């Protein structure tokens, strides 16, 4: 059984994915701009959350667990992490 916070996280993720499913490039740009207008601490938390996604997608590359639909996310995430590691980050 999941906790209330886990259920909230699942709902937030599903709401975001639903937004993305019907979004235009303009919608996604407005989303990004709205986050960038948000509180700076929350921007940092958002960045940390997005980096967890990057790490997850890079892990899919190692496992070969992707297809054409998410190949760009997986391959670009691997490039991002490799570049950060090369810089010692």
Provide the token pair at 38: 């948000």
pLDDT band at 1 (very low <50, low <70, confident <90, very high): low
Global pTM reads 0.89
2-20 burial, b at 16+ Cβ within 10 Å, e below that, comes to eeeeeeeeeeeeeeeeeee
Provide the token pair at 56: 């997850």
pLDDT tens-digit readout, 23-73: 999 999 999 999 999 999 999 999 999 999 999 999 999 999 999 999 999
Q: Where are the domains of the chain?
A: 1-37, 40-89
């Amino acid at each position: 059984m999941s906790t209330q916070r886990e259920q909230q996280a699942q709902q937030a993720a599903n709401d975001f994915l639903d937004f993305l499913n019907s979004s235009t490039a303009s919608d996604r740009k407005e989303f990004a701009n709205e986050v960038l207008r948000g509180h700076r601490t929350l921007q940092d938390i958002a960045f940390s959350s997005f980096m967890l996604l990057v790490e997850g997608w890079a892990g899919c590359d190692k496992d070969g667990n992707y297809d054409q639909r998410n190949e760009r996310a997986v391959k670009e995430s691997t490039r991002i992490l490799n570049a950060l590691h090369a810089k010692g980050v």
